[in-house]
Amino acid sequence: MVTLDDLQVSSLGPCTVDSPLALYVGGRTTNEYYVGEHDRILYDDTLALIESRGVGLENLPTFESGGPRDKIFFDPATTKVGVVTCGGLCPGLNDVIRAIVLELHTHYGVRNVVGLQHGYAGFVPELGHDIVPLTPESVARINERGGTVLGTSRGAQDPAVIVHRLVEEGINVLMVIGGDGSMRGAHNIVVEIERRGLKIGVVGVPKTIDNDIPHIGQSFGFSTAFAKAAESIKAARVEVEAAVGGIGIVKVMGRHAGFIACYAALANHDADFVLIPEVDFSLDGDNGLLALLERRVAERGSAVIVLAEGAGQHLIPASDRMDPSGNTVLGDIARYLREQITKHFANADQPLTMRYFNPGYAIRSVPADASDSVYCARLAQTAVHAAMAGRTDLVVGRRRHRFVNVPIPFVTQGSHNVSPEGDLWLSVLESTAQPFSIA
């Protein structure tokens, strides 16, 4: 069970420096639209959940509020900040980099900001990646393109080497933009920093196109990603409706979480079946996917399947290969489904026109849409506020419209998934009219 202690954020020390943003926040108190710096944000959001804990108000699990403080830990005149992007691409990476640089420069007066290239590999001198200066001029237009101007890579590096490079370069604050693996790496860096007794802060802006990091609300880039995926679903619907016995399969990202599949399907109600890792399904039997597909095509003339890449892995042989991030390489469920559907319709002597769409890399490499751009800017600003206040070993997020600071160990101990008992999956079932159970 989550406790108040689980949500306590680490600090490098007391804040004694007057903040340049004190005029912005001086005298502000908590209201419907703002949370004061000494207030905290409830973890639970219903009376039943709060009452079930059986503890007093002062012991309820709560998050530290994100935002600027009256006093800060680091003196902006002597502070150097490093920024690194790790893991796979995601819409909004450049927006976050840009907003970090602009917030540091414009509002805190931090003039020394640098970028480490190609993820944690950028800290390893032998790999030959330069450290590049980041200025308002150099980041001015980067938000208009996808990807990351700093480059990225997967895989861990030795925390001792990373901390040595931080000291060598005189970096006081490291801003890490990455997924759960990158945040585990960030925590390991903090452990090494603490072992050496150093005052270097590490703050994360969590990034995952799958939206599977818990406790932070929605991940940046997710909105853009499912909107692009929805375009492929719409295209699939057009294709199959024009064909005889048309079946379209749209494969989207989602190793362990089906959020992209669910939201993309809900965006335009063009999907007949949504298959996600959290909900097993069978192919055979009267209520199996193949029989349901045959009936749907007979009734409506066509069908569209939205398939998360991690769905149906129980139907195919397990892989023993690992990717550079340490994840098991998934089996090709899309190819297996196409083969089984083709065989089933041939045996049933039914016409079939198969269309397959895989927008995976396209949806993660595009620039952020306007909604995500706003979110990226606000997350980046919240991260800078935390960093300048001497907070460390944390990520920033937005829980129910409130920005919060969340300890990295708390974020990385679990995952965020679509609940088969939740209202999102219920909405998907309502939208597609697929059975509650495909078995």
Please check if 183 is assigned to a binding site. Answer: no
Please check if 106 is assigned to a binding site. Answer: no
Torsions phi, psi for 299 (to 5 deg): -80, -40
> Using N-to-C axis directions, what is the helix angle for 370-388 and 222-241, rounded to 10°?
160
Please check if 209 is assigned to a binding site. Answer: yes
Please check if 54 is assigned to a binding site. Answer: no
50 burial level (CB within 10 Å; 0-12, 13-18, 19+): middle
Token representation of residue 388: 């300048």
Please check if 154 is assigned to a binding site. Answer: yes
Spell 179-191 as b/e; 16+ CB within 10 A means b. Answer: bbbbbbbbbbbbe
Please check if 245 is assigned to a binding site. Answer: no
Residue with tokens 């990520």: 395
**What is the length of the chain?**
439
Please check if 155 is assigned to a binding site. Answer: yes
Is 70 catalytic? The answer is no
Please check if 169 is assigned to a binding site. Answer: no
Please check if 69 is assigned to a binding site. Answer: no
Please check if 141 is assigned to a binding site. Answer: no
Please check if 210 is assigned to a binding site. Answer: yes
Please check if 285 is assigned to a binding site. Answer: no
The span from the CA of 85 to the CA of 80, in Å, is 17
Please check if 182 is assigned to a binding site. Answer: yes
Please check if 255 is assigned to a binding site. Answer: yes
The span from the CA of 156 to the CA of 78, in Å, is 30
The span from the CA of 117 to the CA of 435, in Å, is 48
Residue with tokens 């192919």: 283
Please check if 254 is assigned to a binding site. Answer: yes
Half-sphere exposure of 255 (CA within 13 A, CB side): 11
Please check if 28 is assigned to a binding site. Answer: no
Please check if 181 is assigned to a binding site. Answer: yes
Residue with tokens 């055979």: 284
Half-sphere exposure of 269 (CA within 13 A, CB side): 4
Spell 124-133 as b/e; 16+ CB within 10 A means b. Answer: beeeebeebe
Contacts of range 233-237, beta carbons closer than 8 Å, 24 or more positions apart? 233/264, 233/265, 233/267, 233/268, 233/270, 233/271, 233/304, 233/306, 233/357, 234/268, 234/270, 235/357, 236/270, 236/304, 236/355, 236/357, 237/268, 237/270, 237/302, 237/304
The one catalytic residue among 210, 212, 270, 372: 210
Token representation of residue 48: 């039943």
**What CA–CA distances, in Å, run from 342 to 138, 290, 307, 339?**
53, 10, 17, 5
Please check if 29 is assigned to a binding site. Answer: no
Q: Is 8 within 8 Å of 409 (Cβ atoms)?
A: no
- Among residues 169, 193, 192, the alpha carbon closest in space to that of 81 is found at 169
Binding-site residues for ATP, in ranges, read 88, 154-155, 179-182
* Active-site residue list: 210
Please state the residue numbers annotated as binding site for substrate. 208-210, 253-255, 309, 361-364
Q: Please report, in range form, the residues annotated as the binding site.
A: 88, 154-155, 179-182, 208-210, 253-255, 309, 361-364
As annotated, the binding site for Mg(2+) includes 180
